[in-house]
Structure 1
């Protein structure tokens, strides 16, 4: 009889094949201090004090505690129901009670105009890699530690996207951030983000993502036991993140709707403190000063909300017979473009899973895809892809730039005589932002960060990817035979097209 092994819970979240390895009864990790509401695409509601949320209407003449009703819209008023986004908030003081906008100085490197006539941005036709981005030596918060790497389009045109990296060493205290340009998708790599939003608190760790819709105010703070934070932000303009359609997969799989978590109402204990609210508007920073906290919302209802998702919960799909599947099968979230057949971008998970394709070269084949790719390793050893591809760094491959892996595993894979089922990318997590756009890159990404390395000039690549065909004596003999056969076939074809030669040939057979 086959012995039955005891299933033991995995304690380290970075060593699971899937979240279920934790054998947890909670939808959140053990160190997450907050409560959430589950369910993608719902119109959620929450109230700190029962009875605060108005019943059966949005804007009563008198709210409980004489709160102010404030609405935030994300779409046109008359947008179809499935594309109509708004939230009503019931707060101690309206956001309109402030002291005006002012320009501010910042150490951030923000660039949002990615048009060809902007001399500050350029293409990177080469394959590019960045070593881990440096943590600032001076106290720096999220606002000042945000740096644009590249993008396409312009927020003023409501079309396009931008890719950022952030590095900071202190929390935002009495300071909030509001992106008036587009949606932010946060992907932490180092350190935990303790995020306060107008709708409530969210705790976001490496291996999780956070989406903050355009116009929602947040304070980004360091989580418990984190002294520094580093990660990636993907911004989209004129569109928003959506779950991809599943097609033949059916009703479940990939990122399941129930695993997306939304906050519950929460307010600051002391609301009467000075606050600075930094806006990013058309790619520029400005700020307003006010004498009260913006986090004074006691109740809300709607669907313009921040939310988070744990990437270890991703239900991966794969080939169970032959061939390597396209990365689209690992899409967590997608963003539509004006072309119904081509998304603006896909946010893709590349994590641990089983690989079982038989008689197949299992790693990604060399390719020149139309999409531009930005990859970042969140944790684990990705030296099989490249010696320089490390957690905290990144890489990019522009559309139609030839690329693939140059590691020893590629050579090894071609020599395997029998390929058994195996677990791949164990103890690792990498994300990819794949865009249909040609990305233009900032001066910070090309030079200022000090950690870029352009690929394609390493002679070791030629040693790894040898021309085995030309060295094969059988191949040379076969080429000579093919050449002779084609020559004879050409002569025969020319003879058949020449009536006099054809007649002579036919006379010879009489």
Structure 2
């Protein structure tokens, strides 16, 4: 496996060149008349040219051939991607899915693209406002083909199996308990090493950023220095049979052929890059007196909307931590929310649903649909001795939270065959403890 190197810092301006070609980065200007080594200069813009400096995102790529050299795109019918949210009737019920099944390679070979399935979402990519949540299940690597997303950013959460992701900026090895973000327009290919599964949060029209810290102060949650960016790595490879470049455009897939590898970037510089982050580096903030803090204190990344304090999507985790709150029901409280809450489990047992909520599965609690701990969790937590305890040890659950009201796809409700139709029964054993004569 190719050795991997990284540069750290979220959103920083970085510069990198493959050590096989020292001096590949032009000096003094971005687009000289003749680039070093006879390379082509190409800019990748992730924001409008006139965005304020703090939000302006772009990178310069110095490549062997520009990305414009390809045949016309043609429709590609793979996977189960959609943004048509009216294909089934709305369903406000609490929804839970058992672990999504990974086909055996001997029965059905699926790579990252052909194994993509849209589970739920809202909004519309042409209007540049919305989100989609996808599940990927694959058992083989992408060979001589790559994908880029014209619609938005992919936040990828592997749950089973590691991903070796080759990008135009270099390579990233992403394992369970890590995440990576491939931003809009960046070409990438995924190599896997057996049966692989995970979750994807896609956002249209906004980029992920670190949440504001407010009264927390300068330190806490995800620290910028823990985000890693790949270093330049190129391949100068011609493919006689053709290389397939796949574009996700307006919610559909299209494929074009070219005669060379798209990963031919010898050097690059800029602040618009792919990046990865290890969830164990998250600095947890928690309640240390009484009551149960809102899950917003566990936000790793946010994609802001135009309304202050309201996100198109937040990526929230529930890592191992200490519980010390006094005279407090410590698990998550019963709740109705003006946000949509999609949860997944990377490993372990989630404290509020230790049995039915499994790694590789998911749940969706839609706007104002009540949810909370199951009956067993409530009874145990109500009687537990309140002393310092480790919470979520060996566990990593996460939440994609959105201000948008999400619809579930036909694949999610019917085709996948993973919907747990008995989910509602986990609350049926709850009984009344009310006694008007006993305070």
Band of TM-score, shorter chain: over 0.9
Q: Which residues of 2 match residues 220-235 of structure 1 at below 5 A?
A: 220-222=190-192, 226-235=193-202
- Once residues 87 and 403 of structure 2 are traced to their aligned partners in structure 1, the CA distance between those partners, rounded to angstroms, is 22
- Asked whether the 8 Å contact 1:322–1:360 carries over to 2, the reply is yes
Alpha-carbon distance, 1:206 to partner: 0.3
Alpha-carbon distance, 1:269 to partner: 5.3
Q: 2:428 matched to which residue of 1? A: 462
- Asked whether the 8 Å contact 2:103–2:138 carries over to 1, the reply is yes
Unaligned runs of 5+ in 1: 1-30, 479-510
Q: 1:26 matched to which residue of 2? A: none
- Once residues 282 and 473 of structure 1 are traced to their aligned partners in structure 2, the CA distance between those partners, rounded to angstroms, is 59
- Once residues 142 and 246 of structure 1 are traced to their aligned partners in structure 2, the CA distance between those partners, rounded to angstroms, is 35
Q: 1:181 matched to which residue of 2? A: 151
Asked if 1:436 is matched to 2:409, the reply is no
SS in 2 for 1:156: helix
- Once residues 456 and 300 of structure 1 are traced to their aligned partners in structure 2, the CA distance between those partners, rounded to angstroms, is 49
- Once residues 245 and 167 of structure 1 are traced to their aligned partners in structure 2, the CA distance between those partners, rounded to angstroms, is 34
- Asked whether the 8 Å contact 1:100–1:289 carries over to 2, the reply is yes
Distance 1:284 1:54, change over 3 A: same
Distance 1:468 1:103, change over 3 A: same
Q: 1:109 matched to which residue of 2? A: 80
Q: 2:276 matched to which residue of 1? A: 308
TM-score (norm: length of structure 2): 0.95
What are the superposed Cα offsets for residues 42-101 of structure 1, whole Å, 9 maximum, x if unpaired?
111101122110011000001111101111111111111111111111100011111211
Asked if 1:75 is matched to 2:40, the reply is no
- Asked whether the 8 Å contact 1:378–1:392 carries over to 2, the reply is yes
- Once residues 339 and 385 of structure 1 are traced to their aligned partners in structure 2, the CA distance between those partners, rounded to angstroms, is 33
SS in 1 for 2:255: strand
Choose between structure 1 and 2: higher strand proportion.
2
SS in 1 for 2:420: strand
- Asked whether the 8 Å contact 1:398–1:439 carries over to 2, the reply is yes
TM-score (norm: length of structure 1): 0.82
- Once residues 268 and 446 of structure 1 are traced to their aligned partners in structure 2, the CA distance between those partners, rounded to angstroms, is 42
- Asked whether the 8 Å contact 2:171–2:231 carries over to 1, the reply is yes
Q: 1:276 matched to which residue of 2? A: 244
- Asked whether the 8 Å contact 2:163–2:173 carries over to 1, the reply is yes
- Once residues 34 and 92 of structure 1 are traced to their aligned partners in structure 2, the CA distance between those partners, rounded to angstroms, is 22
Q: Which residues of 2 match residues 344-493 of structure 1 at below 5 A?
A: 344-382=312-350, 384-416=352-384, 418-455=385-422, 457-458=424-425, 461-463=427-429, 465-469=430-434, 472=435, 474=437
Alpha-carbon distance, 1:285 to partner: 0.7
Q: 2:208 matched to which residue of 1? A: 241
- Once residues 389 and 103 of structure 1 are traced to their aligned partners in structure 2, the CA distance between those partners, rounded to angstroms, is 37
Q: Which has the larger radius of gyration?
A: 1
Asked if 1:197 is matched to 2:167, the reply is yes
Alpha-carbon distance, 1:454 to partner: 3.8
Alpha-carbon distance, 1:121 to partner: 4.3
Q: 2:111 matched to which residue of 1? A: 141
SS in 1 for 2:394: coil
Alpha-carbon distance, 1:103 to partner: 1.7
Alpha-carbon distance, 1:270 to partner: 2.9
Which runs of structure 1 show a deviation greater than 4 angstroms over 4 or more consecutive aligned residues? none
State the aligned residue count.
433
Choose between structure 1 and 2: higher helix proportion.
1
Alpha-carbon distance, 1:410 to partner: 1.8
